[in-house]
Amino acid sequence: MSEKLFSPYQFKGLQLNNRVVMAPMCQYSVTAKDGIPNDWHQVHYVSRAVGGTGLIVIEMTDVEPDGRITDNDLGIWSDEHIPAFAKLVDGMHAHGSKVAIQIAHAGRKAEDAEQPVAPSVVTFPGEDFREPRALTTEEVEAMVQKFADGVRRAVQAGVDAIELHGAHGYLIHQFHSKLMNHREDVYGQDLARFGVEIIRAVKKEMPEDMPLIMRISAVEYADGGYDIEHTLDMARAYQAAGVDIFHISSGGEGPAGQRKPGNYPGYQVPFARRFREELNIPVIAVGLLDDPALAQAVIGNGDADLVAVGRGMLRDPYWANHAALELGVSKDKAAIAEQYSRGY
């Protein structure tokens, strides 16, 4: 690849000014506990658009109240949520960023639900987590529709892409993991079925030229967890159902066992490259990629098409602008807001 971190990127109808993605990061800041974005979210997200980010992924946004990690999370289970999300999206668009939203359900990791739901009665380890009950087959089918309804509302709010959260031990991940799915019905016989049905349902609610992204954990670290070969099999089914881009992370299903996450800069990049090469599909790399030179190398080496930055953007809303200047992009091309240009 001859592309660089600050070269444009286009896929379907999504046109980005650069290849910098703000990773979805829960803010736990919905103080009214109604799932609706508030002033904190407006400042948090729009400032990253002012900072030059190509694609901003709104944090995990849940399809029902008991699908939230905590009651302070965002939700999109009602049409009443649409106006606030539309305002948030408009604010980011006004400063040149494109916007995706991560649609999700926490499943057994819903800490504030009176009784979480899950594929099977397998409790997440830790004192903060309650024993879940297994969804009935009919409830699983209804859950698919809840994802579709959430995506419909997000599209109405004006987002440019949808991301399904199939990673980090949340509900879609729970269904495609043998550690968490012990069902005997069709959703246990085919571990990809729940995700495939969601993908097909949400695609019907999306414009044809809007990309569907899926975040997925490439490997599990808990003892007995799956390896990348299993995830690639799941991903092939998801790709056939309609996923356009994979966002490659890892873990989240429980405490690490003998296999430990690297937790060094770039430790997940080889997973991203494997997906890109084997599936011939665009990928987003993530995982301690805060150093601009490293992020640039991920693109330049052909490891990924886009790079997601998390902690770096929590520390610096203008990470993208500052990275561009550090990498030698001229001041006039670094998307620095006119109001701030005197500072550079």
pTM for this structure? 0.98
Predicted local distance difference test score (pLDDT) of residue 2: 56
Give the pLDDT of residue 238: 98
Q: Any idea what the Cα angle at residue 161 is, between residues 38 and 42, rounded to 5°?
A: 15
pLDDT given for residue 128 in this prediction: 87
- Rounded-to-integer distance, Cα 12 and Cα 10, Å: 7
- Strands (DSSP E) along the chain, which ranges? 9-11, 14-16, 20-22, 55-62, 74-75, 98-104, 117-118, 133-134, 161-166, 212-217, 245-249, 283-285, 306-309
Q: What digits encode the pLDDT tens for the residues 52-106?
A: 999 999 999 999 999 999 999 999 999 999 999 999 999 999 999 999 999 999 9
Residue-wise pLDDT for 119-175, tens only, equals: 999 999 998 899 999 999 999 999 999 999 999 999 999 999 999 999 999 999 999
Choose among 215, 35, 64, 244: nearest CA to 147: 64
The reported pLDDT for the residue numbered 335 is: 85
Q: DSSP string covering 307-324, please?
A: EEESHHHHH-TTHHHHHH
